[in-house]
Structure 1
Amino acid sequence: MKAIFLDVDGVLTNSGYRNPETKNIDPEKIELINEIVKQTEAVIVLTSTWKDGYNKDTGEKDDYYKVLEHLMLEHGLQIYDITDKIPAQTRESMYVSISLNDLEFVHCVHGTGRGAEVDKWINDHHPDSYVILDDEDHGWKEYGYEDAWVQTSWYDPNGGLGKKDVKKAIVILNQNENQKNSANGINSETEDNRCR
């Protein structure tokens, strides 16, 4: 099995696209995900905070999650799984609100946050290869996943997933059939994980 770890904001959405009906998800970005799936037969694992819109235990779905699911189905795609929630713990004390510009100075305690969630899924499911589509660094290097990360951008006017990102993702998924599982490459002493 090959896996696409999918963030939504900054991958399927960007600062230059607005549409309340799609919750600002750009259908063209979903079609680009479809291109990756068609050429790799990878499954989609949702890592985004959008996963909070689906309760695995009850099956209940919030409106925004239903919109995401519907848009994916329109393009012949489905969400295979969502990563477990491992709440982020920061090393820094957070007594005041911070700006998006200050996020780069916030670090997760190793074993918490999105990096840990992806790491757990990989260790639980052992995919043959995987790619991480995300606009933010969640400590990917500290978990040994920097070569699997395709970084998109929320801020670019034509941001989100682009054609060059698709090409890179396809190469990663098709050439890295034997990617090591993180259990073989993790540096558990590292605490410098970005926390978002």
Structure 2
Amino acid sequence: MKVIFLDIDGVINSNFWLESHQQEISDGTLIDKEKIELVAKIVNKTEATLVMHSGWRFWFDNTMKPIRKEAQNLINLLLDSGLSIYAMTPDLTTEEIRKTKMFSKVKASEIFLWLEQNPNVDKWIVLDDIDLHNDDLAIRQVRTNAEVGITEKDVDRAIEMLL
């Protein structure tokens, strides 16, 4: 099994998108469909599975059912591109981490715990825009630029890493 650990902010939406689409931010419909198509390109080429490791996972209940309109919109847009979220990484955050949104402090540990719980994974990568403070993870990370989100170059690198 191949896995893509998917972050949302800075990958399938970006600061550029945020600045130019203020209405979408306020009404909870903010996701760049073109970026989802780029993720779909990776999935279609590699047959990888998506595992969410984004702060967005707190917008789902423990059965992965959306509990906020932003999460439902994300699921709908993924489905439109033939994608779905297979699972989510476990939550190792503390109240302090959630309050300060310093998820990077635990994201690597959450990914490694998920991998430990799912030993059938052959290859995996991480799509994220931030430094996850772990050298073993860094060699498997396609680090996107938060200003623009995922690019064709990132897609090529991801595919190469998963094939």
Shift of 1:53: 0.6
Q: Would the alpha carbon gap of residues 130 and 15 (structure 1) be closer, same or farther in structure 2, given more than 3 Å must change?
A: same
Q: 2:117 aligned with 1:124, yes or no?
A: yes
In the comparison of the two structures, how many residue pairs are matched?
155
Matches within 5 A, 1:8-157: 8-17=8-17, 18=21, 20=24, 23-57=29-63, 59=65, 61-87=67-93, 108=105, 113-126=106-119, 127-141=121-135, 144-155=136-147
Unpaired segments ≥5 residues, structure 1:
175-196
Q: Would the alpha carbon gap of residues 167 and 58 (structure 1) be closer, same or farther in structure 2, given more than 3 Å must change?
A: closer
* Secondary structure at the counterpart of residue 16 of structure 1: helix
Alignment match, 1:165: 154
> Structure 1-normalised TM-score?
0.72
From the CA coordinates, give the structure whose radius of gyration is larger.
Answer: 1
The structure that is helix-richer by fraction is 2
Rounded to whole Å, the distance in 2 between the matches of 1:72 and 1:60 is 13
Given that residues 127 and 144 in structure 2 are in contact (C-alpha distance below 8 angstroms), is that contact kept between their aligned partners in structure 1? Answer: yes
* Secondary structure at the counterpart of residue 145 of structure 1: helix
After superposition, the C-alpha distances for 1:49-80 in whole angstroms (9 at most, x for unaligned) are 00001111584521111011000000010000
After superposition, the C-alpha distances for 1:144-196 in whole angstroms (9 at most, x for unaligned) are 111110111112xxx1000000000001111xxxxxxxxxxxxxxxxxxxxxx
Displaced runs of 4+ in structure 1, greater than 3 A? 57-60
Given that residues 88 and 114 in structure 1 are in contact (C-alpha distance below 8 angstroms), is that contact kept between their aligned partners in structure 2? Answer: no
Rounded to whole Å, the distance in 1 between the matches of 2:104 and 2:80 is 38
Rounded to whole Å, the distance in 1 between the matches of 2:88 and 2:104 is 23
Rounded to whole Å, the distance in 1 between the matches of 2:65 and 2:48 is 24
Bigger RCO (CA 8 Å, 6+ sep): 2
Corresponding letter in the other structure for 1:131: I
> Structure 2-normalised TM-score?
0.85
Shift of 1:140: 2.9
Alignment match, 1:189: none
